Amino acid sequence: MQGLGNVGSHAARFLEQGGATVVGVSELEGALYDEGGLDMEALLEHRAETGSIEGFGDAHFTEHGAEALEWECDILIPAALEGVITEANAPRVRASIIGEAANGPITNAADKILREKNVMILPDVYLNAGGVTVSYFEWLRNLSHVRFGRMSKRFEKRSAERILKSVEELTGRSFPNSVFEDVATGASEEDLVNSGLEETMIHAYQEIREIAARESVDLRTAAFISAIDKIGVAYGELGIFP
């Protein structure tokens, strides 16, 4: 993980929640590596207290943060600066997957080298679309003047309660109150936004993969094709194209 700002720190947390092990991080002051994994919450607290990632546990520290881009890992996420993976260091990148959380972290020359090495690159134009997607949800909410979940939350809660009570009657056993609190509750606005974001990103990724397979192109080119096609359809519907 290069960069522990808003994007990098949250990406690291989500990866940990998904079962990944963060083995290395890079920041302005240097880089840390621990093959056994870094506890991201503890590391972020350490940096907030000391102003540096240096001195965290037994992890190996180097002042040369750029070295982290070349460390062995499955997934590399440059989430800080533009143009950090270049023609010079791309041959030494050992990751199998690169997620472009920053804008343009891979130069054109490096992109070609990495593709020749069969490195899977999730392009920034896709990976950074989450924030814009949620802004779109916010726009829809503001247009309707109704918060997400307001119309259905109580109904969902009662439906879940009926299911749990039916199971209790059939089994003759009672659920703990904590189960009702966890299960028998309607979706919050945050839950609905996260669900909509996940559905949107999954659908977009599947669309890009299908284009990449059909046209025999990389994911970046497929993302551009998808975007241009959508613009063409929108222009056509507006009557701009004959």
Tracing tokens 């599947």 back to the chain, one arrives at: 206
For residue 196, pLDDT over 90 is answered with yes
Domains and CATH numbers, the chain: 6-122 (3.40.50.720), 129-237 (3.40.50.720)
Query: Smallest Cα–Cα separation from 133: which of 194, 178, 69, 55?
Result: 194
CA distance 236 to 203: 23
H-run or E-run covering 178: helix 177-183
Q: Across-strand partners of 120?
A: 97
CA distance 46 to 9: 13
Tracing tokens 């990751």 back to the chain, one arrives at: 95
Question: 2-50: per-residue pLDDT in tens?
Answer: 999 999 999 999 999 999 999 999 999 999 999 999 999 999 999 999 9
For residue 60, pLDDT over 70 is answered with yes
pTM to 2 decimals? 0.83
Rounded (5°) CA angle 18-21-24? 135
C-alpha pair distances (Å), 25 with each of 11, 58, 70, 216, 229: 12, 14, 12, 34, 37
Give me the pLDDT at residue 242, please.
Answer: 58
Give me the pLDDT at residue 114, please.
Answer: 97
Give me the pLDDT at residue 149, please.
Answer: 80
> Beta strand pairing status for 60-62 and 75-76?
unpaired
* Residue 157 pLDDT grade (very low, low, confident, very high; cuts 50, 70, 90): confident
Q: Which three-class secondary structure string do you get for 117-168?
A: CCCEEECHHHHCHHHHHHHHHHHHHHHHCCCCCCCCHHHHHHHHHHHHHHHH
Maximum CA pair distance of the chain? 68
Top pLDDT among 240 and 136 is at: 136
Average pLDDT, the chain: 92
Question: 210-241: per-residue pLDDT in tens?
Answer: 999 999 999 999 999 999 999 999 998 888 86
Give me the pLDDT at residue 72, please.
Answer: 94
CA distance 35 to 52: 20
Please tell me what DSSP assigns to residue 75: E
Give me the pLDDT at residue 209, please.
Answer: 97
The burial of 133, by beta-carbon neighbours within 10 Å (0-12 exposed, 13-18 middle, 19 or more buried), is given as: middle
Mean pLDDT of 104-109: 97
For residue 184, pLDDT over 80 is answered with no
Tracing tokens 């109150």 back to the chain, one arrives at: 177
